[in-house]
Amino acid sequence: MDVTGILEEHKSRFKTIQVDRLIPPDLDLGMLAAFDINMVDEDKLRASQGTRDAYLQELSREGTQLLINELFGLPTAVDEDSVYASLPRATTVLPREKPVPKEKPLTRWEKFAKIKKIQNRKKSRMVFDEEAGEWRPRYGFKGVNNDDQRPWLLEVPGNADQYADQFQVKREEKKARIEKNTRRQQRNIEERVASEKGLKPQEMRKRQLQQAIVMSKGSTASLGKFDDKLKGEPKIKGLKRKFDPLVTTTDKEKTKNMDILNRVAKGDTSATVLNVRKAQRAVNKEKRKQK
């Protein structure tokens, strides 16, 4: 039985893996991209839509075939059900979507640690409590630092009230330390924001204070017009109405009147020419008087 015809028909269904290019395309296997700089056939691009689509599809297939041929030459790793190729590092440099972030300014502690050459040493989160016989967090919920009754016995200082609760004193001191650290943290955040804007912290605080003063002026009925002025208070800038001079030249007055007349003739009903609502109210009021 001759099966040559069947084999040829089956073979004709598949494209060849050999692709010839006058200029070898640049392949970036790390990005799975192929860059072909060969000239295209302008006649086929200007032909009918079917011919153009088939030509572009053939170019895409040949570029993909070249990329796949190179992928089969990479080192591979065999898994249970698949074979994986190890891609090299990408060589194409893509532009950033967003600008390069600016370097954050150092905080007070970071500046101090840099001068003193202090290095942060990471401590373990859990600490073994010998009395309880278990591991407990160093800080936070159920932390060893939250035991207000530890130690269970406190010595009363010589200059302190002997009847004062020393445990309560320690709790108040701890609360004061937390508030102090919170204020320092807020101060560091303000200094960082000021440095990012190119301002000094004192100058930024001054601006914020001035803005608060201006906003507080709006709480009175006169919007701060008759309030007492503070020393160094900034002058509130508002909108000023601009009026035309009462006495002007004949040419300017003629030009202005002709401009208004032309707008009215064209049907321009903008507020600068004619207040339609006000005119309508005046007409309705006159009609009611006549009745």
Distance of CA 273 to the CA centre of its chain: 45
Nearby residues of 146 by Cβ (< 8 Å), 6 or more positions away: 140
pLDDT at residue number 176: 94
What lies within 8 Å, CB to CB, of 113 at 6+ separation is 119, 120
Q: Which residues pair with 45 in a beta bridge?
A: none
pTM: 0.40
Using CA atoms, how far apart are residues 214 and 237, in angstroms rounded to an integer?
10
pLDDT over 60 (residue 138): yes
- 165-177 per-position pLDDT tens digit: 888 888 899 899 9
The HSE-up count of residue 82 (CA atoms within 13 Å, CB side) is: 2
- How far apart CA 142 and CA 127 sit, in angstroms, is 11
> Please, what sign has the CA dihedral across residues 269, 270, 273, 279?
positive
Q: Where are the alpha helices (DSSP H) in 49-161?
A: 49-71, 108-116
Q: What is the pLDDT of residues 80-91, one digit of tens each?
A: 778 888 888 888
The DSSP code sequence of 4-48 is: HHHHHHHHHTS--S----SSPPEEETTTTEEE--SPP-HHHHTS-
Q: How far apart are CA 115 and CA 109, in angstroms?
A: 10
Exposure string for 68-99, b = 16+ CB within 10 A, e = fewer: eeeeeeeeeeeeeeeeeeeeeeeeeeeeeeee
- Interaxial angle between packed helices 108-116 and 166-196, expressed in degrees from 0 to 180 and rounded to the nearest 10: 90
Answer whether residue 180 shows pLDDT above 90.
yes
pLDDT per residue as tens digits for the range 86-114: 888 888 888 888 888 888 778 788 888 89
Mean pLDDT of the chain: 81
Amino acid at 142: K
Q: Higher-confidence residue: 224 or 59?
A: 59
pLDDT in tens, 25-57: 888 888 888 888 888 888 888 888 889 898 899
